[in-house]
Structure 1
Amino acid sequence: MNVLILSQHYWPETFRINEVAESLQRAGCQVRVLTGQPNYPEGTIFPGYRAGAMTTERHPMGYTIHRVPLCPRGRGGAKRLVANYLSFLFSASVLGPWSLRGQRIDVIFVYGTSPILQAIAGIILKWIKGAPLVTWVQDLWPQSLEVTGFVRNPRLLGVVATVVRWIYRRNDLLLAQSQAFVPAIQTMAGRTPVEYHPNPGELAFIQPATDTAPALVLPDGFNVVFAGNFGTVQALDTVIDAAERLRAHADIRFVLVGSGSRGPWLAEEIERRGIENVVLAGRFPPQAMPGILSQADAVLVSLTRGEILGQVVPSKIQAYLAAGRPIVASLDGEGARVVLEAGAGVTAPAEDAQALAEGILRLHAAGPEARQAMGDSGRRYYEQHFDPERLAERLVRRFRDLAVLRRKSGTGTGDAEETYKP
């Protein structure tokens, strides 16, 4: 089966779709990827690439990546982000079909991160290639635009909703990364089937730590590790407030591993407050994370408060479950539900620094054996619900159903005969 993955962001950028492609390849698919020039998260084009180039390259796994031009994100700002998104949409829609000329495509699979508008390029390719279109919705539009404050005008939000409905209804299948997403998507999707398909765990995070020295050696004491993007929705001010509340506990330390737009603010805030129990460790490749996480006494995930964010399961939860470390989750809704259902740690309401500090103290007091039991329980939950290879096999079966149905009907309406149950 020939699967085209359409995603604005792709390797060497670090996104979960990279490993989904590898899992699909191992499951027997012939994978191609249509993407842009890598520039996330720093906003500058990676060395060896050019913003205005249209190129093809071979991934180390052996499949082909087709890259189209785009305007890099730069250092942020609404205008640069809009230019970044729209330039990829234009290039993928106009130049993408040319780059893919002569290539047989059985299924088009859109990795639907924000903005969902990139799926328009998938619709165009569906018309040209005659292949069923599947979009894996990672973020709800227009709700997320309103929650983040990126768009506040009700009329403009209404226009976005109309466009999203148009996109959804031209898919053959919509996959939701969270169970809580399904009703919201279904109300806009018309007759297009909507089904739950979670983000799998990151393969690099589930590899056992090697005997070689870890890329980062954590100091003695009780280390709470946050790994990932330093962005606005990660509620890092809540993390800093919790750390300040725990200053009297000399052995408790927060180790923040990663980078992002709020990195400079973090460094300034730590210095301004004179907080000594927070370490900014820098960014490390995914392959280094097992060795770092294996040293953690607890791992931390945090999000800001909001109806939409309460429906999201952050992908780092899967990574933490796979790593087998106890989790302290400062968030609401689906993410908290998964942690509690897995028996993998403790939760605190989003943006509640006092509750977060108390949760960390509970883990601290629980002792090594109890924390290990939480980590083991999380690992078992991960294997049952988020194992990448199992999820890839289910995805391939669904792709085959759609391809067969489209060949039989010639319509591609997406009314599949079987229900996909991950």
Structure 2
Amino acid sequence: MHILFLTDNFPPEGNAPATRTYEHAIRWVRAGHKVTVITCAPNFPEGEVFEGYTNTWYQRHELDGINVVRVKTYIAANQGFVKRILDYMSFMATGFFGGLFIAKPDVIVATSPQFFCACAGWALSAVRRKPFVFELRDIWPASITAVGAMKDSFAIRTLEKIELFLYKRADAIVSVTHAFKKELIGRGIDSDKIDVVLNGVDLARYEPSTRKDQELANKYDLDDKFVAGYIGTHGMAHGLEHIVEVAERLQEHQDIRVVFAGGGAARKTIVDLVEKKQLKNVVLIDRQPKELMPKLWSLCDVSLVPLVNSELFKTVIPSKIFECMGMGIPTIMSIPEGEATEIIRRTESGLVVESENIAQITAAILKLYKDKHLYNSIKGKSIESAPKYSRDIMAADMIEIFLGVHSSVPPNSQKIT
């Protein structure tokens, strides 16, 4: 089977959408399938093209057996509503045209969180008369209003109508959470065409670490420190200013460090806040290449997974919790109660506290710092739970979905209506 996959994030970008697509795609290739990924020049989250790449109209290369096609887009940093929409819409247009030149795809897949990518996927499926699979990674545009980036308006309502159109037109929907599936069913989408494939972990890359990476530990003076780390995109949804306040409360503990590693829309705000407060117990690490992520995670004794206290974020499962399981790093999760908190509690792979509750986050760090028996118990449960979320399982589940729509959709059945 030839899988044509549209995504505006792909390695060397290291965010969750890029990682999920890549780690699934290499497994599909190993299983004997052909995979073509249409994407753009890597630039997330700073909006600057990575070294060694150019933002040109059409270029092709191969990555671990995956055929990668990169198309030109309007590039903007991961902040600012208007510029981001222009970014998304430009990929919708160039991704669609790029897909017209891909020979003989059997199924066309497009991923969110923003659905302009899915618009391109649906349009390609209609023109080329191939089944369309919508991979749903976020309820968008609801997430825009959830973080306060934009208020409810005519524009948001228009986007919601387009969103609903895509759900109805998709031959199959792959949701990354059960909560997303439940919401779509509540909005009238046929449950039979919605499957849930959670995020997971590549256990060949993320394995239990017995010690911190020596080079990085020496560089940031973390070798003999207890490290509470936030690793990943610094977005508006994460409420990282609260983690800065947590660090402020932990200053008296000389061997505890709080690490922020990554980039994103809120990065400068966090850096400025740390400097303003003159926090000596905070370590700031710039975004690192994807291949260094296991080494970066090895610095952490616990992983901080925060989200702001919004109703929407009850439906979100941060993908980093599975990488932490693979490496045996306990999670301190401070997000609204929902599917993600239930996973942490069921697997006993971390501690759950209230979203945005600075006192509880601080207390959780100190609890794992002081109680070695509890810490080691959670670490063991994390390692024990990881195989349940292996990327091997998730990639195989998605192939079954693709094969299902490929065999069930009659040739020439897709029409533009």
TM-score, length basis structure 1: 0.89
Aligned to 1:420: none
Amino acid at match of 2:324: Y
Q: Distance in 1 between matches of 2:261 and 2:238?
A: 13
Q: Residue in 2 aligned with 1:276?
A: 280
Q: CA deviation at 1:309?
A: 1.5
Q: Deviations over 1:131-164 (max 9, x none)?
A: 2111111110232122123332433332222111
Cα contact 1:44–1:72 (8 A) shared by 2? yes
For residues 181-196 of structure 1, what are the structure 2 equivalents within 5 Å? 181-188=180-187, 190-191=189-190, 193-196=193-196
Partner of residue 417, structure 1: none
Aligned to 1:99: 101
CA distance in 2, matches of 1:400, 1:8: 24
Contact 1:133 1:173 in 2 (8 A): yes
Structure 1 residue 89 corresponds to structure 2 residue 92 = yes
SS in 2 for 1:9: coil
Asked if the contact 2:209–2:328 (Cα under 8 Å) also holds between the matched residues in 1, the reply is: no
SS of match in other structure, 1:124:
helix
Q: Gaps (5+ residues) in structure 2?
A: none
Among 402, 405, 415, the alignment partner of 2:405 is: 402
Q: Which runs of 5+ in 1 are unaligned?
A: 414-422
Give the secondary-structure state (helix, strand or coil) at the position aligned to 1:99. Answer: coil
Aligned residues: 405
1:205·1:286 contact (CA, 8 Å) conserved in 2?
A: no
| CA shift in 2, pair 1:410/1:376, >3 Å | farther
Corresponding residue of 1:178 = 177
User: AA paired with 2:341?
Assistant: A
1:246 Cα deviation from its structure 2 partner: 1.7
Q: Offset of 1:265 from its aligned partner?
A: 2.0
Amino acid at match of 1:365: K
3-state SS of 1:360 partner: helix
The residue number in structure 2 matching 1:56 is: 60
Show the counterpart of 2:349.
Answer: 344
3-state SS, counterpart of residue 262 of structure 2 = strand
Q: Is the 8 A contact 1:255 1:278 kept in 2?
A: yes
The alpha-carbon deviation at position 343 of structure 1 amounts to 0.2
- Please say if 1:365 is aligned against 2:367: no
1:263, distance to aligned residue in structure 2 (A): 2.3
Distance 1:334 1:211, change over 3 A: closer
Q: CA deviation at 1:208?
A: 5.5
The corresponding residue for 1:419 is: none
Q: Which amino acid aligns with 2:89?
A: L
Question: What secondary structure does 2:68 align onto?
Answer: strand
Counterpart in 2 of 1:4? 4
Cα displacement (A) at 1:316: 0.9
2:340 equivalent in structure 1: 335
Larger RCO (CA under 8 A, 6+ residues apart): 2
How far did 1:403 drift?
1.0
1:304 maps to a residue whose letter is: V
1:211 deviation in Å?
9.5
Deviation at residue 324 of structure 1 after TM alignment: 0.9
User: Does residue 315 of structure 2 align to residue 314 of structure 1?
Assistant: no
1:20-55: CA deviations, max 9, x gaps? 211222233211111122211110222333324211
Check conservation: 1:247, 1:277, Cα contact below 8 A.
yes
- Aligned-residue offset at 1:207: 4.1
Tell me: CA distance 1:45–1:294, structure 2 relative to 1, closer, same or farther (3 Å). closer
Cα distance in 2, alignment partners of residues 262 and 45 from structure 1: 19
2:265 corresponds in structure 1 to 261
TM (norm. structure 2) is 0.90
Q: Distance in 1 between matches of 2:75 and 2:100?
A: 22
- Which secondary structure does the structure 1 equivalent of 2:409 belong to? helix
The C-alpha deviation readout for 1:169-212, integer Å capped at 9, x for no partner, is 11011111111111212234533622211112255751455999
Taking the aligned partners of 1:21 and 1:214, their CA distance within structure 2 comes to 32
Report what 2:216 is aligned to.
216
Q: Kindly tell me: are residues 155 and 291 of structure 1, through their superposed partners in 2, closer, same or farther at Cα, counting changes over 3 Å?
A: closer
Superposition CA RMSD, Å: 2.3
| Cα displacement (A) at 1:98 | 3.4
Alpha-carbon distance between aligned partners in 1 of 2:181 and 2:107, rounded to the nearest angstrom:
22
1:209/1:202 CA distance change after superposition, 3 Å: same
Counterpart Cα distance in 1 of 2:141 and 2:295: 39
How far apart in 2 are the matches of 1:254 and 1:211? 18
Asked if the contact 2:213–2:299 (Cα under 8 Å) also holds between the matched residues in 1, the reply is no
Matched, 1:148 2:147: yes
Give the Cα–Cα distance (whole angstroms) in 1 for the partners of residues 43 and 331 of structure 2. 31
Q: Distance in 2 between matches of 1:379 and 1:196?
A: 23
Relative to structure 2, which stretch is displaced further, 248-257 or 3-12?
Answer: 248-257
Percent identical pairs in the alignment equals: 25
Residue pair 1:116, 1:164 contacting (<8 A) in 2 also:
yes
